Structure 1
Amino acid sequence: MDKAELRRRIVASRADVADPRGSATAIRETLLDQPWVQMAGLVAAYWSTGDEPATHGLIFALWKHGATVILPILRPDDDLDWAVYDGPDSLAPGPRKLMEPVDTPRGVDAIRTAALVIVPALAVDPVTGIRLGRGGGSYDRALARVGPNVPTVALLHEGELVDVPAEPHDRPVSMVALPSGIVRIPGKDSR
């Protein structure tokens, strides 16, 4: 199956997620229980939208527990700049109506200093760690800047850990957080 067809199938199946709020809570609690998450001083994450596993509670909890959280700002070239999240009132709608931090952008390379990177995905391959995104390549560019020993975690609903066709520009993640727990990608676990 090609990526476009896989995207269509995953997006269609997300309409049937039984308990999205419960799934988001399970993912948040599982991640917050991990020592490598608790010790991460700088976390790059994203503000979820639509049918994605919700990150709002996770981001707020990380921030309240003392982590500096940086969120993406979509640039005109579809690359990602990064700025600091400073609570729920520090966000404003950006391009494509995505919520973005209003803090001063730190540049595309700010992700290099993160101790933990949390990214969106529609699916992740359980063997290679290749993630299927929305097709813009923004997160593949961002992941290319992340050091080899930094945990990279994609958040998924159950059933989205599937074979994903790989292309040369695709960058793998080292883990997937599902409502049922953490799945480490063989040979990619960087914590």
Structure 2
Amino acid sequence: MTAGTKRDVRHAARARRRELARGTDPAAREAAAVAIADAVLRFVPEPCRVAVYESLPDEPPTGRLVEALLAAGHEVIVPIVLEDFSLEWRYAVPGASGDDATVRRPGHGGHEPDADERQRWLGTDALATCDLVVTPGLSVDSHGTRLGQGGGCYDRALLHRDPSAPVVTLLHEGEQSELDLPADAHDVPVDGYVTTTGRVVRLR
């Protein structure tokens, strides 16, 4: 049984996320950040390259995860959303936040990157060099179907990944779907998800 049309499911998922974010105090958000970091670190026992994203305020927090990965000796790359909604990649900077439009979305309210900044970018195919990919998402079902925000950024980016590299999505606890999510032919399934309570669910 499916959850409905993708548009309707995404609308409901965004509303649920806003409600969850509204009810989260700073202490609970910090606890979620710690739980996520501890859970994801178990995926990468040896130093390697990990792709993460810089979370926005209503998303499961990733700042502590990035810092923990860097402290453990891992190389971390994060995305930049380009005008055509493809993803460029750069090395993570400790303490950076997705709230900073100059970091996450050049051309969408932030400054246009200069030539020196662009030279430090790693290319749109950088996921091919990663040992683990951590993605955002609004929900994931039992088949690994991930509901994104609708731009298709990650579905296109994941085509470049090493097939042996696990792909996991971060969710607030309760955002996982018991029903099959609607999927298009271009949607790339994920291998599991990690919730803000630190729960790890492997699907594939």
Name the TM-score, length of structure 2 as normaliser.
0.81
Matched, 1:133 2:148: yes
Query: 2: distance between equivalents of 1:29 and 1:83?
Result: 23
Residue 200 of structure 2 corresponds to which residue in structure 1? 182
CA contact (8 A) 2:63 2:96 kept: no
Q: CA deviation at 1:124?
A: 0.7
Residue 155 of structure 1 corresponds to which residue in structure 2? 170
CA contact (8 A) 1:129 1:173 kept: yes
Query: 2: distance between equivalents of 1:12 and 1:40?
Result: 38
Residue 14 of structure 1 corresponds to which residue in structure 2? 17
Structure 1: unaligned runs, 5 residues or longer: none
- Corresponding residue SS for 2:133: strand
Pick which of 20-29 and 114-123 moved more: 20-29
Structure 2: unaligned runs, 5 residues or longer: none
Higher strand proportion (structure 1 or 2): 1
- Corresponding residue SS for 1:139: helix
Larger radius of gyration: 2
Match of 1:142 among 140, 150, 157: 157
Q: CA deviation at 1:180?
A: 4.6
Query: 1: distance between equivalents of 2:58 and 2:109?
Result: 15
**RMSD, aligned α-carbons:** 2.2
The Cα offsets for residues 68-126 of structure 1, whole Å up to 9 and x where unpaired, read as 1001111221110111113236974433458xx95711111111000110000000111
- Which letter does structure 2 place at the counterpart of 1:45? V
Matched, 1:69 2:61: no
Structure 1 residues 61 and 167: alpha-carbon distance in aligned structure 2, compared to 1, 3 A threshold: same
Percent identical: 40
Shift >6 Å, 4+ stretches:
none
Match of 1:42 among 49, 53, 60: 49
CA contact (8 A) 1:40 1:116 kept: no
